[in-house]
Amino acid sequence: MTNADLVTLDDFALKFPDDVEASFAEAYGAAHWTEIKKALARPPGYTSVRVNTLVTDQAALVAKLNIALTDFNTRLEAAGRAPIAAKAHPTLPDVVLVPSAPRVSLSVPDIMTRKKIIVDRLCGEAVLRGSDIFARGVMCASSALNPGDDVAILVDLDHKATRGLDAELHTGRKVLIAQGTAAMSRSEMFRAMKGLAVTVTARLCTDAPPLNGVLAGEMYMQNTPSSVVAHVLNPQAGETVLDMCAAPGGKTSHLATLMQNKGTLVACDRSRRKVLEMKSYFDSIGLSIITPIRLDSTQSVLPKEAAVLSVQDVIAAAEKTRTNEKLLPIAGFSPETFDKILLDPPCSALGLRPRLVHACDMSELDQYSNMQRNFLWAAVFLLKPGGTLVYSTCTVNPNENERMVAHALKEYPLELLEQSPVVGAAGLPNMGLTPEQAAKVQRFDPSDAIDTMGFFCAKFTKTKSIRDTTPKPAETEA
């Protein structure tokens, strides 16, 4: 193992293909883009959870979370570290922030004298989010490694190592992210298909408390910008609302909660498995207004020659024809039958944190933009005149954000609306929007002081009917 191929997390910045680097450096400015890449490689300094306000409230959840954090705080105090405490979000009435424990001071030269564990990228990102290491994530390990040995934990950035290789012989790029204690011998790590391999004792970032499964039904772990989106759409009890790309269901359940579980809420996804998982989750927390369906939303607009049916009539007709299926057989909806629509389409996800590798070049990123245009076309046709459309992504790619908004304003009878609440910053300048338009969108910058994932949100109203326009899929742009 050579130091030339090694970098610590403190000095690491995410690297993109050259054409992406050039495009994004021009959009953000080189210095700003470098700060974003550094932030993307690290988790936010807190965990954001959304309150299920149908069963509890923000203050009560803060109190319960602080009780649930007792064991984590006991371990921190035993190690001479300060305890943490959950607190209400200063702007969002149904969001609670749980800070991560401040990182400990580690001696990198000392860590690197220890035996080594090298893990794959996905495992490394999980470690940065608070996970220990399980056998299947281990790629390489030092020879003569035994349970109880202290280890340095590194991530293989090139994904070229042969599983089972001696870590000391690894020659590719690596990033040091943590230290830990082996729970298995070297031979067990590569023989086992599951089981705890390494307990992580300290990370080169903040330590998030384990919250999976905590207060199930009363809270939902959801990044802060994702919780903002439902409030921006502002669905009301009794309205007819569509979530076009709903899986895994977090935003959908938030919409239903804001609607006080009254009205009609359709949740679409093209994956049957994901829709069934959503249905199970919605049923488990008593959200009865949601109709989850397996449907590609780009194909969800019924031809104008078909009889115009309300969303409720479409659902009722499907109920009558259903036999033993778990999901309603719905092929689409009549144009202009939804009051409000949330469109959070598949995107390049360049805003997710932490990320240690991104390999998509600009041609691959452009495929997302083309797909998003098709979703946007369907959304505009399904939305009633005067209705509200919220478009959101979890990417920092301006082509999927500001430039997609510019496309929507040019091609469709849409007008940008002011958003509330405003938690993020204004849109980027010189990306197709006027200064006034850029001020109406929200861009969440990973390098900003609020320390969120990268995210984007725009809110539109539909200014006139297009029912008489022949529905056809949006044409992709070069």
Q: For the CA atoms of the chain, what is the radius of gyration?
A: 24
Residue 331, marked binder:
no
Residue 296, marked binder:
yes
Hey, what long-range contacts does 71-74 have (CB within 8 A, 24 or more apart)? 72/101, 72/209, 72/210
Residue 251, marked binder:
yes
Q: In the numeric block, which tokens belong to residue 260?
A: 């006080």
Please give the distance of CA 333 from its chain centroid, rounded to a whole number: 28
- Tell me the β-bridge partners of 391: 343, 458
Residue 269, marked binder:
yes
Residue 286, marked binder:
no
123-155 burial code (b ≥16 CB/10 A, e <16):
bbbbbbbbbbbbbbbbbbbbeebeeebebbbbb
Task: Kindly name the residue from 123, 140, 394, 457 that is annotated as catalytic.
Answer: 394
**Cis ω for the linkage preceding 109 (within 30 of 0):** no
Residue 274, marked binder:
no
Residue 246, marked binder:
yes
Q: Distance of CA 126 to CAs 103, 155, 194, 255, Å?
A: 16, 11, 16, 29
Cα 396 to Cα 394: distance, rounded to the nearest angstrom: 7
Residue 249, marked binder:
yes
Cβ-count burial of 317 within 10 angstroms (0-12 exposed, 13-18 middle, 19+ buried)?
middle
Annotated active-site residue 457? The verdict is no
Cα 109 to Cα 161: distance, rounded to the nearest angstrom: 24
Cα 225 to Cα 91: distance, rounded to the nearest angstrom: 12
**Cis ω for the linkage preceding 354 (within 30 of 0):** yes
Q: In the numeric block, which tokens belong to residue 120?
A: 């794959």
Q: In the numeric block, which tokens belong to residue 85?
A: 């405490």
Which residues does the annotation place in the binding site for S-adenosyl-L-methionine?
Answer: 245-251, 269, 296, 344
**Which residues are catalytically annotated?**
394
